[in-house]
Structure 1
Amino acid sequence: MPRVVGRAKKLGVPKELASFSLAPRHLSLLAYLLFDGAMTVNELAARLEVTPATVSLMVGELSRQGILDRRTDEDDRRRAIVSIAPAHEAAIKEWLGQGAEAWRRALDPLTPEQRRLFVDTLLAYERALDG
């Protein structure tokens, strides 16, 4: 596990994104959008395990910088759909895509039950770190 964390920390922000002052909280949000595609603020909040208000603030910040696009959901005009802006998609994919592909290669051979066990184990580890 320490080797995995060490490698993740070495993933420097690409120079195209360096001026945006991206923080670790942004990395998780961008990773979900890259791996799973566009989604609503509420979907992002559930995945990030934070409040929708927190995600709205992050999305607003990244939208103002042009990193994210936010559009109204045609089916429910009260909801916003969030996606990575096309202008930055290639840089974000280059930055985070290798990790996504590594996860896919590692998890693809597993059965759904084995994947669930793996995820549950990581969650238990995270909870143990939180004390």
Structure 2
Amino acid sequence: MSSGDEGPGLGVDDAIRALLLLMPRMVGRVKRLPVPEPLQSLALGPRHLSLLSYLLFDGPMTVNELAARLEVAPTTVSLMVGELSRKGVLERREDDDDRRRRIVSIAAAGRPAIDDWLARGAVAWRRALEPLTPEQRRMFLDTLGAYQRAVEELS
């Protein structure tokens, strides 16, 4: 591979090389973040983490709203919510406006552990993203999304 000279900045091949070295270190470091003791027995997967993040940062929402954000079927979210509700991590209550709908939220007892666990990642992302312009942040997120889709296509 050549270094790909596209003018000022970093060539594509040099950027790929840098990312191939950076990503394993980054993922390894994130995996070493200790799961708070109250959550250790839950065997949380990436989808659980995303679900909890949405509820922590965006507040209570319905199963259908969570499913749309997670890009999974509502039945998948219902199963996750049921599992985490039985373990006391989440709560489900009737929607005051529509008694057929259920609103999902983080249980008060589990909130401190979840907040502490996810807040560290949020602080790190804030430090990395704040210096960027809104356009640069959009480009960064679009690039990560494109990478994820490409990895899925090649798998």
Normalised to the residue count of structure 2, the TM-score between the two structures is 0.76
Unaligned runs of 5+ in 1: none
The residue number in structure 2 matching 1:40 is 62
In the alignment of these two chains, the number of paired residues is 131
Q: Mean alpha-carbon deviation: is it higher for 70-79 or for 85-94? A: 70-79
- Verify the 8 A CA contact 1:35 1:100 in the aligned structure 2: no
Aligned amino acid, residue 137 of structure 2: R
Alignment partners' CA distance in 2, 1:129 and 1:90 = 34
- Runs of at least 4 residues off by over 6 Å: none
- RMSD across aligned positions (CA): 1.6
| 1:63-99 deviations in Å (ceiling 9; x for gaps) | 1111001111112222221111110110111111110
**Highest Rg: 1 or 2?**
2
Partner secondary structure for residue 92 of structure 2: strand
For residues 77 and 115 of structure 1, the distance between their equivalents in structure 2, rounded to whole angstroms, comes to 40
Q: Provide the C-alpha distance between the structure 2 equivalents of 1:103 and 1:126, rounded to a whole number of angstroms.
A: 18
SS at match of 2:97: coil
User: Structure 1 residue 92 and structure 2 residue 105: aligned?
Assistant: no
Name the SS for the 2:103 alignment partner: strand
Aligned to 2:96: 74
Q: Residues of 1 paired with 2:88 and 2:33: CA distance?
A: 22
Aligned-residue sequence identity (percent) comes to: 72
Higher RCO structure, 1 or 2 (CA under 8 Å, sep 6+): 1
Counterpart among 125, 133, 137 of residue 103 in structure 1: 125
Could you tell me the TM-score, scaled by structure 1's length?
A: 0.88
